[in-house]
A and B are shown apart, each in its own frame.
Chain A
């Protein structure tokens, strides 16, 4: 029972073939060794990074984008989503700040991916000027 999957470690995107033979995983078609543990992981316990948003109490910026600091088991994605959907951020956070530490005991944190205070530099209003700029 042979499964085909595309390796995502590097842009080569090797089309790996993996099969469980004689008690161990056998991976073929990988052009470098990094593809092998990736393929085995995909078959035994696929890991995924998760990006989503969490509510904030700031009316001008109602959602804070977040991500997991590392990959988590694919099977836990929906449960982690539930947790993310239940919280609300009311402090000013910066990129990389931990929003939830060790979510669901995975050892992985939930991190903010933008600044809540002045996101992307905030608003830059054109300075009000006396009429020396001609129209």
Chain B
């Protein structure tokens, strides 16, 4: 262990690995802190393919992608500490003190910069106000996936899945392949959340019905789940009285959303964006606290790990810079049609000619036009045949000639589907 590191990456999943590579490639001394015993994060249990199409031009499974990202670190000598957890962070003058715990006890680690790559957690049954009894048999999709893919156990024999996002769809297929019966997938919104490819290959292939505008309201069963109550919902996603139906099952799998983990970020007063639940960043992935960077699902929930790695690598490169100009921030305003937009600010004292940006739309649009205005002058206009909330879009923007007073605004307009 070094007495001080240039960059400490908290989290050894895909974001942490790419960030470590980025920082190491610029000569920084790097430490990765990971709370599990193995690196790779959530990829270890994502045994399906669809990863790496952009970054490696090949369809890889999660484990392959993780192995590949780990191999990228081979040329560098960095320190890695597993089964280690950051309990506290203290900001000092020009550095940070991380208090960590591991089997070797409590340690203080000094670092000049921090990259928060802490991933996200799943929304729970209580957070979507499912009521009834408290039986065994209710799982979030990620936990079910862990049981099946890392421990080798089926958590259910006949189940219902709430949530038509990709995680839920992937689990529908996985459960069926391993011998469980998936009675149906229910989605509270009026359109499915996942990729169309997954709707075909996870549901249609196995004749698993999908019900839209439907949610699970209650569960039954004293010790083990034996039924759920589903109900139709209105446009505000509130259950409609009288539409309730009971479905006998022994498992309820919840795929109702992911929440970025920013408990460590909040320890040092990193400002969060309420629309992403992640830190506000500038184009170099730095948060409101100088020297603290954010990447991956902790920054915002991503759909493609390729984008996670790309952003994280940039964050790593930025964190390795030995000197930082004084920040001069201008906000990037989110106009109509956009629910999230990252980065939220531009630091005009840093280069801004190629700003990798990500956005999500508020609803599905077709024949949409995204326009970026600087001082009410459009600098970019891009057409989208179809753009949906579950698919985060990436755009590289060329800004130029910005000043402190520049006003940047993004808007999206199109036909609502």
Q: Interface residues, chain A, CB within 8 Å of chain B?
A: 5-6, 8, 12-13, 46, 48-53, 55, 62-63, 65-67, 74, 77-78, 81, 95, 113-115, 119-129, 132-135
Contact = CB atoms under 8 A, between A and B. Distances in A.
Contacts of A113: 47, 60-61, 63-64, 67
Interface of A is mostly: loop
B126 interface: no
Interface stretch (B146-154, B287-295, B347-355): B146-154
B329 interface: no
Given A50-B177, A113-B64, 14 more contacts: A8-B200, A13-B197, A48-B205, A51-B48, A113-B47, A113-B63, A113-B67, A119-B63, A120-B39, A120-B63, A121-B70, A123-B82, A124-B32, A133-B109
A53 B39 contact: no
A124 B148 CA distance: 25
A129 B3 CA distance: 12
Which bracket fits the contact residues of B?
35 or more
A-B pairs, 3 with minimum CB distance? A124-B80, A114-B63, A120-B40
Contacts of A135: 99, 105-108
Q: Considering residues A50, A53, A95, A114, which has the most beta carbons from chain B within 10 angstroms of its beta carbon? A: A114
Q: Considering residues B37, B63, B109, B386, which has the most beta carbons from chain A within 10 angstroms of its beta carbon? A: B63
A50 B73 CA distance: 29
A13 to B, nearest CB: 6
A127 B1 contact: yes
Given A6-B200, A63-B149, A124 B47 contact: no
Contacts of A67: 47, 49, 61, 64
Interface of B: 1, 3, 32, 34, 37-40, 44, 47-49, 59-64, 66-67, 70, 73, 80-84, 99, 102-109, 148-152, 177-178, 196-197, 200-201, 205, 385-386
B152 A62 contact: yes
10 contacts: A6-B197, A12-B385, A50-B177, A67-B49, A67-B64, A78-B177, A95-B67, A114-B66, A126-B107, A135-B107
B47 A51 contact: yes
A120 B64 contact: no
A133 B101 CA distance: 13
A77 B122 CA distance: 30
B151 A51 contact: no
Contacts of A8: 196-197, 200
A48 B201 contact: yes
A51 B152 contact: no
B409 to A, nearest CB: 27
Nearest to B198: A8
